Structure 1
Amino acid sequence: MSYKALINKVFTRKYQFALQPNSVEFLEEVLSEHEIAPDQVQDALEAIAKECQKQGDCTTIVTRDILVRVYELMREAGEDGPSVNPLDADLLDPENHLFIIDAFDMPSWYYSADRKAFERTPWKSAVGGTAQSRTQLMRSRHDLIKQFVLRNENFSPPISGRDRASYLKITSTKNLLGRIGERFLLFGMLSHDSAGKLCLEDTEGKVMLDITDTAPSEGFFTEGCFVLVEGDYTANESFAVIAIGHPPSERRAVARSIFGHIDMLGNGATTVLEDASYQERLELEYSRLSFLVMSDLWLDHRRTLEGLSKVFEGCVENDFIPLIFILCGNFTSGSLDLTSGDGLAKYQDNLDSLADLIAGFPAISRNSHFVFVPGPLDPWGSSTLPRRPLPSSFTSRIRSRVPKSHFPSNPARIKFFGLEVVIFREDLMAKMLRNLIGVKPDLQGSDLKRFLVQTIVDQCNLSPLPFPVSPILWDFDHALRLYPMPSAVILADSYERYDLTYEGCHVFNPGNFVGNEFGFSIYFPATGRSEASSIDTENVE
């Protein structure tokens, strides 16, 4: 039996390894020696490929020596019997597997198109950035997205001639020259040239786009988005676009199976097997465990604390104590006058009142974690992402009265067992709609929500907007990255509440807490889904 096609499929197409001829021969010998069943061959090859990734000297080329070493390691592990699974312990304590991650503490990784692997940024991240930072930022976004687009089955080079008809080949802008009248598929970033004309840029150049007769595909399209465009190269050296679309996203399980050994968050990487085992335990033992999420908690509004008190009372009365309360700003209903001591003093008093309210419910304050994520209007907020945490000078009373309080950046992340939850407080819907290049006509409200979610997940970034609209600290763009795809994203927005799941990623907006109803959302890690909830406003003075 010939295993060569499957070996190429797994190592070359999926894991993007280059195999030497004697490496392929060795793999064929191993598979034949162990008489592996045909339906288990691919699983066996993937297990070997994953072990190869863990070898320090393994780059894009897998030599026979590396394969021999991996094979011996796997044989020894098999002879010693299955390793002890830490999940077999009688007690699984959620507190030991909960991490609140600040954007400024995340390690900086970038995807190297040359080595086809993630590498650590060679310089130390700085708020001011470096001369190389901005160039590296856009190239990193480009290379990151393109690597999984090329791994997608529709864009992977076919093994046999019979698959060539369905193969979509991406052409660079440089290769358009001298090929007027031909049709191509391009990948690059939408931008405008100095004359204000829409262009597509890639790493080799740019071409002007003509979208006069083009109806954009699903999703939002703004300057700064990476897109796939199909069209014809015309005599005036422009590209007449027939179709435009976001790159196909890669599900979390697929990305984790390839890059699971990379510690993206900085708190220790877990294997895909461990994640799956943890999830099983969560579903069996902690089905009611929850995160309660609120946004725009205006502490200067007269009804906010009363409404929040009713929420706490309901939790205690129903014996439903969330593991985490995620409280997102803005914690003020209007901009603060930073030149006035009265405004800052009032802000301080409101946070102190919140601390006293939480401490008044011991069952909650002693057992629940409180995560405070700042909004654009909170001090010392700015339009630059990521935003710094709430200043410690305002939070001393909360820290003293609420033992499990956390004050991360915006955005922030929660690592809980094998789950990754991203928290982002930004009025993103309004920003995207104000900066559209084109959008489908006759949109309904549900389409807007779906298009927003699809855009940020496909773009693998929380803010796929031009820098003048959404400034970014260049050295910290990795903190906005959504790759591997997170388990859930909390898009805390002043827009109306919603929740939906796209490509396995659950995205929800808890909405504004103060309004016609005191609304919030509850996220259940065991199911990976959220529920909208509220309290009866008639019972609030």
Structure 2
Amino acid sequence: MERSALKHSVNSTFRLNGYTLKNDAANYIVEALLQVGEQQRQLWMDKILATVQKQPLDTAIIGRDLVRDVLQNCIRETRGEVDFFMVFDAFSVPGFSYCVNKQKFLKDELLGLPAGSVLPDSVAPKAEVFRNRYHLIQQRCLRNELFGGTDASGGGGRRRFRLQPVELLLGSTSRLEDVLVLGMLTQLTEGKFFLEDPTGAVQLDLEHTKFPVGMFSEGCFVLCEGSYDDNIFTCSVMGFPPAEDAETFRNHFGNQNMFGGSNHICARANTELQSVEKELDGSMFVFLSDVLLNQPQVMDRLRRLLDGFKHSPPTAFVMMGNFTDAPRDANSYRELPQTLHATLPTLMTSSRLRVFWQTLAEMITKVPELRESRFVFVPGPTDPGIAPILPRPPLSAYISEEFRRRVPNSEFTTNPCRIQFCTQEMVIFREDFVTTLVSQCHLAPLPPHICPVYWQHDRALRLYPLPDVVVCADKFDQYTITKLGCTVLNPGSFHKDFMFKVYLPSTRTCENSQVGDDS
């Protein structure tokens, strides 16, 4: 009798607030409430309902999975438990796509899109990748104040633009002036560039085009302004789409979690994480790239670096490959010029790699003050792996298992990967190219023959909404820039000048650091 009355009360409470509980969801709540005393049930009911109301729901019908996650969050908050540091690999990134009809981001399963797979059963996901990229950037442009109406400039006001599809140009029999089109740069014919969108492709004349600062390549999306005549779009100005900060995104689409993890709301909207972040104002992240474990001088400087942080242990050391400069297989060795063979170390094998990682583990354990620091390892382009396709899986368990046993607070993850620290979101990426990331909201807006990507995991390379930090490590000089609240940094190659970056979450600042000769 008690169970029946309680279930009726639970269903009534949710209906009064505009929700409908599925039967299994109602039963789940009832079972949970029966575990506490009668005087506490209403308090827990209010807490559950308040948490549900914060979720970015697509429907008023509540299922068991949502109720379970909500209840677990309530329990963690009550106990004062909160995960303030989490690492998400690329293959666990939640799938969201922009629905043009509903003008909102929905989970892929709601749109009938297949689950992520390294080996899809058709080529349809490839087309979906570029279609998603286009709609993601298009909706961002259409909401920008520059695209609020028809082309006009007068009365001292700011000029506004109207985006046109490629099909408008292809269907015109007369000359068109001052046309603005959003599309992807492609070479459908060798030596000839085209602008392509979901409606078609038009050949470009770039002879007199003006370009702003940035890298324009095949596969990136651009805005082209110019005239169209005789099947040719003469582009006078080519630029990148306007970027958008995370706050603007969330003001429009809500606080749904598109970054990673089981929570339905993003970390920035989590009040518990906000409180924890204030308490951890001394937190620090150390970023290193090209940590060549087979070079004695690198290992010596790494030992000095670890010893130098023993009095102020960082929250995490994030080390990125390449972790060796030796050829990873016989084929790559043979491809090198014969003159280099004598100067290179012996062909790298998994057994030899295990020895290097065991040496690093021993080095870390000799600094007990770092036992609370996390160690995150991201593979580089030439580290052992299945294929040079993004996202790259972690280093194999055979290589890392002994290290993980000796350094339990370590994590070998994918490239790219994501780190959540309190309310801040970080994206870590190691690759040997630099491109315009923020405007493209993508880590690798390049053609497939330059940077192949597993089609159904392309979402792991998205930068939308913009995270707080993007670590884009390559073999070039280090830098730090901030745009629209997003800090983009390159720690440089550790094996060259023993440079690295230190990021301070409390002030959102980045410092250049170096291990000197007398450290």
Output the TM-score relative to the length of structure 2. 0.77
Deviations 1:310-358 (A, max 9, x none): 1111111xx2100111010111013223689863322111011111111
Per the alignment, residue 472 of structure 1 pairs with 453
Per the alignment, residue 97 of structure 2 pairs with 110
- The whole-number CA distance in structure 1 between the counterparts of 2:352 and 2:472 is 28
Per the alignment, residue 123 of structure 1 pairs with 114
Per the alignment, residue 152 of structure 1 pairs with 144
Per the alignment, residue 494 of structure 2 pairs with 513
Report the CA distance between 1:266 and its aligned residue.
3.3
- The whole-number CA distance in structure 2 between the counterparts of 1:403 and 1:416 is 19
Deviations 1:66-97 (A, max 9, x none): 9xxxxxxxxxxxxxxxxx999999x987x721
Alignment partner for residue 337 of structure 1, among 318, 329, 332? 329
Per the alignment, residue 69 of structure 2 pairs with none
Residues 220 and 273 of structure 1: CA distance in aligned 2, closer, same or farther (over 3 Å): closer
Q: Where does 1:268-287 land on structure 2 (aligned, <5 Å)?
A: 268-270=263-265, 274=269, 278-279=273-274, 282=277, 284-287=278-281
Alignment partner for residue 481 of structure 1, among 458, 462, 469? 462
Q: Contact 2:276–2:422 at 8 Å: present in 1 too?
A: no
Residues 247 and 217 of structure 1: CA distance in aligned 2, closer, same or farther (over 3 Å): same
Secondary structure, aligned partner of 2:173: coil
1:196 aligns with 2:191: yes
Identity of aligned residues (%): 34
Kindly provide the amino acid, as one letter, of the partner of residue 213 in structure 1: H
1:169 aligns with 2:149: no
Residues 271 and 297 of structure 1: CA distance in aligned 2, closer, same or farther (over 3 Å): closer
Residues 342 and 333 of structure 1: CA distance in aligned 2, closer, same or farther (over 3 Å): closer
- The whole-number CA distance in structure 1 between the counterparts of 2:263 and 2:83 is 13
- The whole-number CA distance in structure 2 between the counterparts of 1:330 and 1:272 is 31
Q: Where does 1:53-452 land on structure 2 (aligned, <5 Å)?
A: 54-57=56-59, 96-121=83-108, 122-129=113-120, 130-157=122-149, 166-176=159-169, 177-234=172-229, 236-264=230-258, 265-270=260-265, 274=269, 278-279=273-274, 282=277, 284-316=278-310, 319-337=311-329, 343-364=349-370, 366-380=371-385, 382-429=387-434, 452=435
Secondary structure, aligned partner of 1:233: strand
Residues 297 and 475 of structure 1: CA distance in aligned 2, closer, same or farther (over 3 Å): same
Kindly provide the amino acid, as one letter, of the partner of residue 501 in structure 2: S
Secondary structure, aligned partner of 1:166: coil
Residues 410 and 165 of structure 1: CA distance in aligned 2, closer, same or farther (over 3 Å): closer
Report the CA distance between 1:98 and its aligned residue.
1.2
Count of aligned pairs between the two proteins? 433
- The whole-number CA distance in structure 2 between the counterparts of 1:368 and 1:165 is 51
Secondary structure, aligned partner of 2:91: helix
CA RMSD of aligned residues (A): 3.0
Per the alignment, residue 517 of structure 2 pairs with 537
Kindly provide the amino acid, as one letter, of the partner of residue 125 in structure 1: G
Stretches of structure 2 that go unaligned for 5 or more consecutive residues are 1-52, 62-72, 332-345
Instruction: Return 505-514 or 517-526, whichever deviates more.
Output: 517-526
Kindly provide the amino acid, as one letter, of the partner of residue 412 in structure 2: F
Per the alignment, residue 27 of structure 2 pairs with none
Residues 230 and 395 of structure 1: CA distance in aligned 2, closer, same or farther (over 3 Å): same
- The whole-number CA distance in structure 2 between the counterparts of 1:187 and 1:274 is 33
Output the TM-score relative to the length of structure 1. 0.74
- The whole-number CA distance in structure 1 between the counterparts of 2:182 and 2:129 is 17
Report the CA distance between 1:167 and its aligned residue.
2.4
Secondary structure, aligned partner of 1:187: strand
Residues 114 and 481 of structure 1: CA distance in aligned 2, closer, same or farther (over 3 Å): same
Kindly provide the amino acid, as one letter, of the partner of residue 412 in structure 1: C
Instruction: Return 253-262 or 470-479, whichever deviates more.
Output: 253-262
Per the alignment, residue 479 of structure 2 pairs with 498
